Structure 1
């Protein structure tokens, strides 16, 4: 991979699946993306609000790799920046391979990675079959089966085999700053032992 870089940034003040690309976003320490429906110190995602409105917001910023959108377009889906609800679209960094609590230095801002985005039915409602692009068997084998979804919407398995979630990572803002396309990213790993990413 080349130098990690921001490809696009997006936000939306309403709770919609997709977000609107813009020239820059402002990350606010402890809150998230200024003007975005998911900003806040406690959980803002509607499904989590219904379960427990007082849990800390570990999903202030959503980042996704551009190769996921490339794969979706190759599979016939009409997607672009912000389509999957991400705030930051990246290139040149394996976001899914970093451990929990990795810091991403983006421009002046710092985002601490808290876990994986848990794919859900909304992805297929956006574009039929898109869930299969963001959920793959852990063994890499192709499958014609539908992705099984758990009671809270998250994917559990595919053909009874464990899955890899590719819908991006979630994080919290540890230092405020402006982020725009073209900004470089620096990945700072936490102290060992490392904890693999899990859905948040």
Structure 2
């Protein structure tokens, strides 16, 4: 796989489905992407917020691999980075294969921003409203091994150390020691 890096960065100040490209985003520790509608210490995701607005925000940063947009089943929808609501589009990382608790270090040096992976993004009805038929490409029934469902709409994380993340930044992946904990929707 390619050297892990930031393909692009995106944000939206309002609860629109897609986010707008920006050359960089500023991460705030314990809060999320500065200026983004999903930043905050408590949950900002509207369906979850409606049921319990005091839940901790485990969805401060949304990441999607650029490789998803290249998959033939997704490519036919002409979906572009930022269009599915992610803050950071990555390149060269199997995001869905990471363990819960994995640390992602953006850029170089001791002051690199750090995001800790909390879980999967469960694709919802907004994806179907955005592009009819796309939701079934992002929620895939797994064959064999007891079945189940695979969610392909990216992962979520919390900001452990703030700082600037720019398009082109390298990403260092540090998996937690010990037993791997599979990602589940948050």
TM-score (norm 1): 0.87
Q: Does structure 1 residue 172 correspond to structure 2 residue 158? A: yes
Following the alignment from structure 2 to structure 1, what is the Cα–Cα distance between the partners of residues 72 and 79? Answer: 7
**1-structure distance, mates of 2:98, 2:26:** 24
For 1:47, what is the secondary structure of its paired residue? Answer: helix
Separation (CA, whole Å) in 2 of partners of 1:30 and 1:77? 35
Separation in structure 2 between the aligned mates of residue 114 and residue 45 of structure 1, nearest angstrom: 15
Q: Distance in 2 between matches of 1:89 and 1:75?
A: 16
Per-residue deviation, residues 3-32 of structure 1 (Å, max 9, x unmatched) = 001100000000011000111000000000
On the 8 A contact 1:101/1:112 being kept in 2, the answer is: yes
Candidates 119, 141, 153, aligned match of 1:137: 141
Q: Could you say which residue in structure 1 is the equivalent of 2:174?
A: 188
In the aligned structure 2, how far is the partner of 1:42 from the partner of 1:184?
Answer: 29
* Long gaps (5+) in structure 2: none
Counterpart residue number, 1:89: 89
Unaligned runs of 5+ in 1: 141-159
C-alpha displacement of 1:104: 0.3
The number of equivalent residue pairs is: 181
**Cα offsets for 1:28-58 (capped at 9, x unmatched):** 0000000000000000011111010000000
CA contact (8 A) 2:69 2:75 kept: no
SS at match of 1:48: helix
**1:110-138: CA deviations, max 9, x gaps?**
00000000111110100011112211121
Distance 1:12 1:175 in 2: 21
2:148 is aligned to 162
The 1:82–1:75 alpha-carbon spacing in structure 2 relative to 1, beyond 3 Å, is closer
Structure 1 pair 182–100 and aligned structure 2 pair: CA distance change class (3 A): same
The answer to whether the aligner puts 1:15 opposite 2:19 as a matched pair is no
State the distance in 1 between where 2:19 and 2:185 align: 21
Shift of residue 71, structure 1, vs aligned partner = 2.1
User: Would the alpha carbon gap of residues 73 and 20 (structure 1) be closer, same or farther in structure 2, given more than 3 Å must change?
Assistant: farther
Change (3 A) 1:105 1:170: same
Q: TM-score, normalised by structure 2?
A: 0.93
4+ residue segments displaced more than 6 Å: none
Q: Secondary structure at the match of 1:14?
A: coil
